[in-house]
Structure 1
């Protein structure tokens, strides 16, 4: 497996942005110091609210625990469908948070996008989010030909969304439905709920997330579990049997506490016999594709090109 490092030519710009980001985040308390989960979800007003586009259509699909909300973006000509899981540590975010990005993806790739608005912790701890994402995937596998005129399916997500994408593939494997998905795009995912070495050593650097923040997110979704229990394969996919999975593209920033999650998971992905590509973006922090910097623009273009080709 080859690991490609990119972004060295604009590393100074990325580092300068990281400093400004740290200064902004220093004006608000970290998530683990806020008692009101609603205040955490509101983002303390540090960042502007996401822009909601008319092109996004809210729907519900059937799930084992009741209807599952999804948000759908359909381009003029549909050449496939991308099942998307949003970021937010299973605690924050929604399918409406990335309308601009997902509509651009749909237009540029010809992929309809189905983004799952899975239930959030702590109100709905594990396995609620997994159930919703797997059930949305089952619906898509069974209806994509009639709903979108195509059986070409891909999936992916960012951060917790990348982890949930892997959980979807593992959840569908027993039935063989996982083979309906030809490729997975996995951006800065979290695959070890007890924390990989890079997450343990990162500390708190005011750069989106850190060691204590990551532990807080895990505590919301997996309350009361010991470290040994967090290593269970159905909770931490890094420890799962990864055979017979599709081609994947992994991407992560070099200044991301979840760097090892991507490096370890991609190594196991390939060792299990699955094709994969790995890209580490110099100096980039967790969630870097959401920010107005050169490496983000480049990465989103690369993601679209990869999805279009698969």
Structure 2
């Protein structure tokens, strides 16, 4: 299928600005500032009952989180959400619209996590913060009106962290998870999969940016063999929560996300895999104001979350 006209418009605008990231000696801190400046919040954010910025304890200090609470009487199920940005850039703000939509559509509390960023905080800092946030929600849910039904989710590097947290919870007898929501997840280093070969240049997210991210987050090459950084490196994927995996046709990360979905299926994990034809990276949370497909993807995710939470409620 050809590129959707909206996706083409995003690519053209990004190319006109010199690419997604200024990889010309710009420091990570400067890159974050430029990324934040280039992103504009929705002028009319979807209202929820309450939005609270707070901190929770983490392994290396407090972790900022943003808690979205729906209208109605709780306690509610919860989604612990992780933003994208290659573990280097991004913040709570860019995913605000998606968190609000999911909060209302499902009737759940969304806890969006501002984990530590590389290279100042290399692996496993982001993964440790992500898991600490999950444990905090499981142990202190009453403080934010949450019951024991918890899902995890994220886009891109955030999808990576959601998959990693699911592995950690399985391996360390952590809280049971209702669903892992993985939108265009990073599951392996850049490689020679067809989507990287075909769409690694000129399709919004590019190989050069991903290769740069993989110089910033790992401590050394041996980290790339650790499933808590690259989930496809896991020797077994059984015993993990059900998954909704969503990919985009023209995304370099498409094939690794779909390979991970099939690995989960092979391990006996219930998985729904959806590819959005004609679309690009960032379709779920980053580009909601530019891509109308976001609303379709949000509806699919909300339905999966409602079904997963309903199944937990009757057990």
Aligned residues: 296
Structure 2 gaps, min length 5: 309-315
Query: Deviation per CA, 1:195-221, whole angstroms, max 9, x where unpaired?
Result: 361354146533321111110111111
1:296 maps to what in 2?
A: 294
Query: How far 1:155 sits from its partner (Å)?
Result: 1.0
Q: 1:46 to 1:23 in 2, by over 3 A?
A: farther
1:238 aligns with 2:235: no
Distance 2:200 2:33 in 1: 21
Deviation at 1:107, TM superposition (A): 1.5
Q: Secondary structure at the match of 1:300?
A: helix
Q: How far apart are the structure 2 equivalents of 1:128 and 1:218? A: 14
Secondary structure of the structure 2 residue equivalent to 1:18: helix
Distance 1:45 1:98 in 2: 12
Q: Give the conservation status (yes or no) of the 8 Å contact 1:193–1:231.
A: no
Contact 1:161–1:189 (CA under 8 A) maintained in structure 2:
yes
8 Å contact kept, 1:24–1:46: no
Counting only pairs closer than 5 Å after superposition, residues 138-157 of structure 1 correspond to structure 2 as 138-157=135-154
C-alpha displacement at 1:76, in angstroms? 2.0
8 Å contact 1:95–1:117 — kept in the other structure? yes
How far apart in 2 are the matches of 1:295 and 1:118?
A: 27
Q: 1:84 aligns with which of 81, 87, 99?
A: 81
**Is residue 184–residue 281 contact of structure 2 (8 Å, CA) maintained in 1?**
yes
Structure 2: distance between partners of 1:174 and 1:271: 19
Structure 2 partner of 1:17: 6
Take 1:44 and 1:261, find their aligned partners in 2: how far apart are those partners?
25
Following superposition, the deviation at residue 237 of structure 1 comes to: 0.8
Of 162, 166, 183, the residue aligned with 1:165 is: 162
Q: CA deviation at 1:34?
A: 4.4
Of 33-42 and 253-262, more deviation after overlay is shown by 33-42
Deviates more, 1:23-32 or 1:161-170: 23-32
Distance change (3 Å), C-alpha of 1:49 and 1:38 = farther
- Say if 2:22 is the partner of 1:38: no
Coordinate RMSD, CA, aligned: 2.3
Counterpart-to-counterpart distance in 2, 1:119 and 1:46: 20
**Structure 2 length-normalised TM:** 0.86
Moved more, 14-23 or 101-110: 14-23
Equivalent residue, structure 2, for 1:208: 204
Native 8 Å contact 2:84 2:155 kept in 1: yes
Q: Is contact 1:186-1:249 (8 Å) kept?
A: yes
Task: Note if 1:59 corresponds to 2:54.
Answer: yes
Alignment partner of 2:272: what SS?
strand
What is the CA-CA distance between 1:38 and the residue it aligns to?
3.3
How much does 1:98 deviate?
Answer: 1.8
- 2:248 counterpart residue number: 253
1:48-92 alpha-carbon deviations (Å, 9 max, x no partner): 422496943111111121111111011122431111011111111
TM-score by length of 1: 0.87
Instruction: Check the 8 A contact 2:36/2:90 in 1, yes or no.
Output: no
Q: Is the 8 A contact 1:251 1:279 kept in 2?
A: yes
